[in-house]
Chain A
């Protein structure tokens, strides 16, 4: 079966300036969810790596070139998503974080509020919903392009 082709507007490399694909680390203890997010992101041109929990994610990050985006579940064994995100933001200063969680109440009970360069999306999510959230977080627009320079 051919892989699903998404509209051009969602491509991670659709920027006018050619740039290498955005590197994304996807962390979820549910294999189906991990693979679902992975397929959507790869189809849209993002470069992905997968981890089943926080420890794997930390290990992977120490061996790989830096990731620009962390997409993480909140409710995971041992290291919850917000703690993983905190660790990653402290070591990898430019990483952005998208929480993908079915338990937003748990996330906000732990965190209070989101920080700069963080966003969250309720699970389950549609492919378009995920890509728009990622695009908004990474490029400041919903269509994967860098924002036009405004007159000011």
Chain B
């Protein structure tokens, strides 16, 4: 037996309240463009798996004839519902989609795939509920690429190994899509998220909080506290002028089904 501790699973009921904070200062323009291009202009019937607070559902609302969001976190869904409108949001697990076959034209996962406990089963389920000619888009980090710089990894170093265990490389995902029965799979860089934040402000405005990002939620309280101490010490050493660097890429993986013959 290895000495590995059991896998850590992010509790999104804890993240719900602070989650949208990220969208207030990071732009995600590349993700938005990728999403819009993926949906196209035919207003496809669209499912977002791991819809969270519904941020991307609201962005996509006018581009889909029918839009359904799904998440396992009841509190995330309550947030998504607060925004009202015609949004349909369902509490379900990604490994067991509660719809009959051939229900959707497009399935979207934004920063969500790394939370699914059985990716192969999710891909098989996605394949099942897609119509001929349908497609799945997943956007997420690839911490294996080692091209990224992120203050979360720097000051909370335990998060690096956790993320490498959670996020798969794009080429692995393409292979898994093929095995699930997708006819064609591609991947590309969708966005580069860059930001500088003064550490002093971040320490007081809710950024340095387990609710900000699931990486911090996964840490033990001790690991989290040690990270905050590291950050405070670095900020003090910099005379309170420390800047937190965010510079990471998001990759899109797309699986497509052949149109009906």
On A, residues with C-beta under 8 Å from B are 66, 86, 89-91, 93, 112, 115-116
CB-defined A-B contacts under 8 Å, sample of 14: A66-B100, A89-B88, A90-B68, A90-B88, A90-B89, A90-B90, A91-B98, A91-B99, A93-B45, A93-B66, A93-B99, A93-B103, A112-B84, A115-B86
Q: How far is the CB of A103 from chain B (nearest CB, A)?
A: 21
Q: Which residues of A contact B98 (CB under 8 A)?
A: 91
A-B residue pairs, 5 tightest by C-beta: A115-B86, A90-B88, A90-B90, A89-B88, A116-B86
Q: Which residues of B contact A86 (CB under 8 A)?
A: 88
Q: Which residues of A contact B89 (CB under 8 A)?
A: 90
Q: How far is the CB of A115 from chain B (nearest CB, A)?
A: 4
On B, residues with C-beta under 8 Å from A are 45, 66, 68, 84, 86, 88-90, 98-100, 103
A115 to B45 alpha-carbon distance, docked (Å)? 16
Q: How far is the CB of B236 from chain A (nearest CB, A)?
A: 51
Whether the Cβ atoms of A91 and B90 lie closer than 8 Å is: yes
Q: Which residues of B contact A89 (CB under 8 A)?
A: 88
A112 to B81 alpha-carbon distance, docked (Å)? 13
Beyond the given A89-B88, A91-B99, A93-B66, please list 7 additional residue pairs across the A-B interface where CB-CB is below 8 A: A86-B88, A90-B68, A90-B88, A91-B90, A93-B88, A93-B99, A115-B86
Q: Which residues of A contact B84 (CB under 8 A)?
A: 112
Q: Which residues of A contact B66 (CB under 8 A)?
A: 93
Q: How far is the CB of B67 from chain A (nearest CB, A)?
A: 10
Whether the Cβ atoms of A93 and B86 lie closer than 8 Å is: no
A91 to B98 alpha-carbon distance, docked (Å)? 7
Q: Which residues of A contact B100 (CB under 8 A)?
A: 66
Q: Which residue of B lies closest to A118 (CB)?
A: B86
Q: Which residues of A contact B68 (CB under 8 A)?
A: 90, 93
A66 to B86 alpha-carbon distance, docked (Å)? 21
A66 to B84 alpha-carbon distance, docked (Å)? 26
Q: How far is the CB of A99 from chain B (nearest CB, A)?
A: 15
Q: Which residue of B lies closest to A87 (CB)?
A: B90
Q: Which residue of A lies closest to B89 (CB)?
A: A90
A112 to B98 alpha-carbon distance, docked (Å)? 27
Q: Which residues of B contact A115 (CB under 8 A)?
A: 86
Q: How far is the CB of A96 from chain B (nearest CB, A)?
A: 12
Q: How far is the CB of B96 from chain A (nearest CB, A)?
A: 13
